[in-house]
Amino acid sequence: MSKLRVAVVGVGHLGQHHARIAASAPDAILSAVVDPDPTRGPEIAAKFKAPWAASLDEVLAEVDAVQIAAPTGFHHALGLQALKAGKHVLMEKPLAATLDEGSALLKALAQARLATPGIVAQVGHLERFNPAVTALRERGFKPRFLEAVRVSPFPARSLEVDVVMDVMIHDLDLLRALVGRPVIEVEAVGVPVLTPYADLVNARLKFEGGAFATVTASRVARKKERTLRAFGDKEYASLDFAAQKLEILRLVMGPDGPEVQPETADIEEGEPLRLEIEAFHAACLGQGTEGVTWEEGQEAMRVADQVQKAVAKSLAEINRA
C-alpha cells in the first residue's frame, strides 16, 4: 500500500514535533513543511529533508493529508481550505478559536464527506493516547468522581489565550471520554495573575448520570504536575501523565477481613504525540478509526466555553465587591 503523503502546517513549538514524527512514521511521507516564517519554515523543512512552502495552497495538490499545528486563530481557515480540497485533517487542539468556528468546520466536514466519504478529521487531544490512560480505559474503570490537576511554571508561549483553552481543555476532553456522558453543569473560578487572561482556574463539572469532577489548571505554579485521580465502586485509580504510571487500589476481602490491595499497571511507555499521529495516518489509510473526532473536539470546546463564562462571572463578582 502506498504511504500517506503529509503536509505539516505550522512548525512552532509543537508543529516541529509533528514534522519530526511524520518524517519518521512507518506509513507516511513528510511531503511538505508549511510555515509563513521564511527563516523557521526552511530550517525545519531542511532538518527533516522535506520541501518548504509559505502557504498551504502551494502544496495541497501534492498531499493526501494535512496536520495543522498553526496557532488556533488560523484553524478555521486552514481546516476549510483542506476540506475543500478533499484532504484528511488532523487539527491540533483546540478545534477552533470559537464555538461558531468549530460549528462551521463541522458543517464543512459534513459537506466534504458527501463528495469524499472516506475523509478522516481528528483533533489532537493527545492525552487520550497516553499509555497510562489507555491502560485505565482498557480496565473498564467506571468513575463516579474524578480529580484532575494540570499545573506548571509560567511558560513563554500560548499567552494569547487563557489557561482553559491552553491547558485545561486536555482534561475536559479526557474526563468526558472516561465518564462517557456529557457535562450538564459547570461551576468555575479563576484569576489572571501574570497575563490579562485567567492563569489559574478551578472548575467543578457535573455529568449526565451523576458523576462529578474537579479540574485545576494553572500556569503559575512552582513545579509541573499532571495527575488524575478517579474513584469508582470499591476501587480508586491514580494516574501520573508525565511518568505514564497507573496505580489501582481495590477493596478486597482478605483473610482478616476487608483490605485495600494496590496494583501498579504494567505499561509499555510511548510518546503520546507519536501514537496519536500514527493512529491518524492509519485511519487515513483505512487501517483503523482510533482518534478524537471533530465532534468530540467541539464538545470539549463547548465545556471549555462554559468554564470561561463561569470564570468571567466570578471575576465580575470579585471586582464588584
Residue 159: Cβ-neighbour burial (10 angstroms; 0-12, 13-18, 19+):
middle
Contact 80, 89 (CB under 8 A): no
Confidence band of 161 (pLDDT split at 50, 70, 90): confident
Confidence band of 319 (pLDDT split at 50, 70, 90): confident
| Range in 14-23, 110-119, 149-158 the model is least confident about | 149-158
- The answer on pLDDT for 320 being more than 90 is no
Tens-digit pLDDT profile for residues 246-304: 999 987 777 777 777 888 888 999 999 999 999 999 999 999 777 999 999 999 999 99
- Nearest CA to 188 out of 300, 316, 310, 303 is that of 310
Q: What is the pLDDT of residue 273?
A: 97
- Nearest CA to 136 out of 123, 148, 122 is that of 148
Q: What is the pLDDT of residue 316?
A: 83
Tens-digit pLDDT profile for residues 193-249: 888 888 999 999 999 999 999 999 999 998 999 999 999 988 999 999 999 999 999
Q: How many residues does the chain have?
A: 321
Q: What is the pLDDT of residue 251?
A: 79
- Nearest CA to 69 out of 127, 128, 124 is that of 124
Q: What is the pLDDT of residue 315?
A: 83
- The answer on pLDDT for 1 being more than 90 is no
Please tell me the pTM assigned to this model: 0.93
Helix spans in 139-187 (H): 163, 169-179
